Structure 1
């Protein structure tokens, strides 16, 4: 059967135009939505990557802070050990110091001089003794002055006394203990 289109042609063209415009608008909307979705996904990936980088940096900072704490602890321990070594060194020096000092004193005394007292207080030494004559006392003081362990040897009192049928020269002398040079310094200066 034959059909006859009774609708005007313009109405048909209008409907087709509207349909085409709706199709183009829908297509444009889909393209815009896809573009926005792609940008969102790209931004999300970038944010995630930056968060991971920040987390890695924070972990590294924590590790470095732990290391700095250990370094500070080691420095404190090193300082403490250096102090202990200094005390040990001083003890070593002081251990042999009095023995050397008394040895030097004994070698300075001859058979014409007798010591009555020897007092050391904070490096100051007071010596009381007797000698057969002034020459023996002077000889003792000269040997004491020549000793490396004593300095500033001074005769403070000398007095002629009699005792047990003999005339002897009683004397008092003062001096200072020579500070011992550390072993490490003498070795490095050679």
Structure 2
């Protein structure tokens, strides 16, 4: 027996195709949404991880900043201690300078020269005195320039003839003078002495 389908089969096929198309479209949209959600979750995880790293780095940077401040404070304290130590050493070094100055003036002042005033200002010494002749003053300048261990760079400021009363009765024609001379520091004064003693102690 032959069966004849009198139903609208073309419309039924179109309806099924349309349902299949919308089903595929729905699955595709759902898949796309799932992919977007997963990608967003991955991005959020990456951002959260990076933020944790940034927070860790910021914390370590703050620790380093504190350490740098401590190091700077320690350096400042060390420099202050060094300055104090140098000041104490300079005081100890300069303590004996007047003794060296007076001894050296006694050694380098020639006969016929009398010192009337000595004033020290730091490393500069001002000297006033009287001499029997100009040559005596010149000899004093040469001695302090070339023969002195503790004195250097003498400078004659003024010299003039004057009648000076001696022993309360007699007037003598002398020469009043004033000069400046530089006082060497102990380390500067010891260097030439060490250099001079080195050849003497070396084997021939």
- TM-score, normalised to structure 2, is 0.60
Q: Does 1:152 align with 2:155?
A: yes
Question: 1:28: which partner in 2?
Answer: 28
1:124, 1:67 → 2: CA distance? 50
Match of 2:7 in 1: 8
Native 8 Å contact 1:113 1:140 kept in 2 = no
| Contact 2:101/2:183 (<8 A) preserved | no
Residues 1-190 of structure 1: pairs in structure 2 closer than 5 A:
8=7, 10=9, 13=13, 16-108=16-108, 117-122=116-121, 123-128=124-129, 134=132, 138=136, 142=140, 145=144, 146-148=147-149, 149=151, 151-152=154-155, 156-157=160-161, 159=163, 161-163=165-167, 172-181=176-185, 183=187
Instruction: Classify the secondary structure of the residue corresponding to 1:31.
Output: helix
RMSD across aligned positions (CA): 4.3
Give the paired residue count: 179
Change (3 A) 1:156 1:76: farther
Name the CA shift for 1:68/1:7 in 2 (closer, same or farther; >3 Å). Answer: farther
Aligned to 1:3: none
TM-score of the two chains, using structure 1 as the length reference: 0.63
SS at match of 1:178: strand
With over 3 angstroms needed to count, the CA separation of the structure-2 counterparts of 1:157 and 1:77, relative to structure 1, is farther
Any gaps of 5 or more consecutive residues in structure 1?
1-5
Residue deviations 1:135-167, cap 9 Å, x none?
8x9399538534342523575556464427888
Query: What is the CA-CA distance between 1:47 and the residue it aligns to?
Result: 1.1
How far apart are residue 44 of structure 1 and its match? 0.9
Q: Distance in 2 between matches of 1:155 and 1:181?
A: 28
